[in-house]
Amino acid sequence: MSKNYQAIVIGAGPAGSSAALTMARAGLDVALVERGSFPGEKNMFGGLLHRMPSLEKIFPDFWERAPLERHIIKKGVTFMTGDSSFSTTIEAGSFDKPPYNGYTVFRPRFDRWLAEEAVAAGATLITSSTVDQIVLKNGKIAGVTILGRSGQLNAPVLVAADGVLSFTALKAGLRKPTFDPAQMAVGVKALIDMPREMIDERFGLVRDQGFANEFVGCTEGVRGGGCFYTNYDSLSLGLVFHLASLRTSGKTPYDLLNAFMEQPQVAKMISGGRLLEYSAHLIPEGGYDMIPELVGDGIIVAGDAAAFCNATGLNLEGINLASHSGVVAGEAVIAAHRAGDFSKQGLTAYKKLLDESFVIKDLKQARNAPHMLHNNRIYHEYPEMMCNFMENIYKIEGIPKQNVTKLFLKSAREKVGLGNLLADGFSAWRSL
Amino acid sequence: MNIDEIFDNTSFTIDREAHIVLNYEICTGCDNRGCVNSCPARCYTWSQEEQKMTFVHDGCLECGTCYVVCHKNAFTRWRYPRGGFGVAYRMT
């Protein structure tokens, strides 16, 4: 099999399908190559789908059209230590009115839908095909070879949307040969079956309302955190670990996940449910400083492949950045076709458009957050301090009480140290 | 979540051809072996007695953790499975 296209997009995730969709709508003959037997088969996701400015522009009816689950009206944070936890939640009226702020979503369904929209616009979807090598002709990019289905696909320009490890970007010399474990995290997730009515009742939800919660202090001192999401009739419960911390901890992701699921407050959330699926994937958490070369001669890098993931602690964004970068990549390829110039220079519109968008602006603004989050105290001492403080506030033992300030200082001194508290507060304020 | 029962919870189409191949000699001389505890699918096991690393690609979740935590570059091959093979998430 050898076929000629005007562009090849590698990876049918949100970045790749958005790129293929954009190009196909402009009339380009584009191949969308996916290693799964269907788009979304290889995706793992523990997050929310927030506003999607670029797709909302392409589909004015995006929110009715896309296969989504519940819209999030209630968001919480839980500080956990041993068998105690302290939670705060916000339930806002505005979260329950369209345009909704965030949705839970099943990626195998969502990614398949988005790729099908690209196909409907004229793109050729080639599944079960892992891209192997970049084909060069006279020193210029001319296509790729694939494994699975065998053969070669030809095009003068590639969009590498092949995910966090992007071997395409590596082979094109755009990313470094090794990754820094300090810039990567791994997420593991349990998908738990539960009847819809039970979820509604347990978490105080009606209609299509959903609840999302994040956890700190649930990783036995490994830098990381937990997350919880309600889908229509299932729950997603996961943990994320910074690899630099996990690799030297001696602890395993599945044992930590089990302990998390058995923690008394979490156990109550998921009791009566049944494990349906276990999954794991890397997350590029290094932020702005991790971004590879975005453009080379005949190639653009988008989505996770370009480390477009904004993980500042409380919000985790990826799909929206991926999709926007895909649309912009598509626009840059269209411009390059018009000018007949696929050189790095001819594709620079990509960088320029991204620089002006929320993708680069937000990542730049949160540039110091990844460093701040490498403070081990966040994952152990602070959750302990919060729980200890709240426990003491609510304890009524028939002996004279200390005032709140004294109680706080006592917890802070015992669990964190006052000097650390001041220093950490200052660095958090500076980086956010 | 019992990791021994991973095949009951997650679907795989196993390729006979391994997508990850190790040079075990490098593992034997490694001072960290973070792959053993970090791999979410427990594909790596180290035998202290035999001083030997064993790797099984069957239940690999294709997450990429080992590729990043291995600081000795012990891989003679690290790529994703051929198209159509490997893990198949249905609803994650």
pTM score, whole prediction? 0.93
H or E element at residue B8: helix B6-9
Sign of the CA dihedral A311, A313, A315, A316? Answer: positive
Give the residue from chain B lying closest to A240, CA to CA: B40
Contacts of B82 in chain A (CB under 8 A): 130, 147-148
Radius of gyration over every alpha carbon of chain A, rounded to an integer in angstroms: 23
Contacts of B64 in chain A (CB under 8 A): 164-165, 186, 281-282
Phi, psi angle pair for A201, to nearest 5°: -65, -45
Say yes or no: B82 contacts chain A, CB-CB below 8 A: yes
Q: List, for chain A, all residue ranges whose pLDDT scores fall below the cut of 70.
A: 1-2, 313, 431-432
Cβ-defined contact of B40 to A250 (cutoff 8 Å): no
Q: A20, A297, A341: which is closest to A136 by C-alpha?
A: A297
Residue A423: predicted pLDDT: 86
Residue of A35, A45, A247 lying closest to B69 (CB–CB)? A247
Interface ipTM: 0.96
Residue A430: predicted pLDDT: 74
Give the residue from chain A lying closest to B90, CA to CA: A108
Contacts of A35 in chain B (CB under 8 A): 80-81, 83-84
Contacts of A257 in chain B (CB under 8 A): 1
Residue B40: predicted pLDDT: 97
Cβ-defined contact of A277 to B90 (cutoff 8 Å): yes
Contacts of B70 in chain A (CB under 8 A): none
Architecture of B3-80 per CATH? 2-Layer Sandwich (3.30)
Contacts of A279 in chain B (CB under 8 A): 10, 61, 87, 89, 92
pLDDT tens-digit map of B5-40 = 888 889 999 999 999 999 999 999 999 999 999 999
Tell me what percent of the residues of chain B surpass a pLDDT of 70. 100
Interface test with A, best of B77, B87, B89 (most A CBs within 10 A): B89
Contacts of A236 in chain B (CB under 8 A): 92
Cβ-defined contact of A37 to B84 (cutoff 8 Å): yes
Chain A: nearest CA to B24, how far in angstroms?
Answer: 19
Residue A432: predicted pLDDT: 62
Residue A184: predicted pLDDT: 96
Chain A: nearest CA to B54, how far in angstroms?
Answer: 17
Residue A375: predicted pLDDT: 84
Say yes or no: B46 contacts chain A, CB-CB below 8 A: no
CA–CA distance, B17 with A299 (Å, rounded to integer): 30
Count CB atoms within 10 A of the CB of residue B28.
Answer: 14
Residue of A106, A128, A247 lying closest to B38 (CB–CB)? A247
Contacts of B38 in chain A (CB under 8 A): 186, 243, 246-247, 252-253
- Cβ–Cβ pairs < 8 A, chains A and B: 149
Residue of B1, B32, B84 lying closest to A278 (CB–CB)? B1
* B86-88 and B11-13 strand pairing: antiparallel
Residue B5: predicted pLDDT: 84
What are the boundaries of each domain within chain B?
3-80
Cβ-defined contact of B89 to A42 (cutoff 8 Å): yes
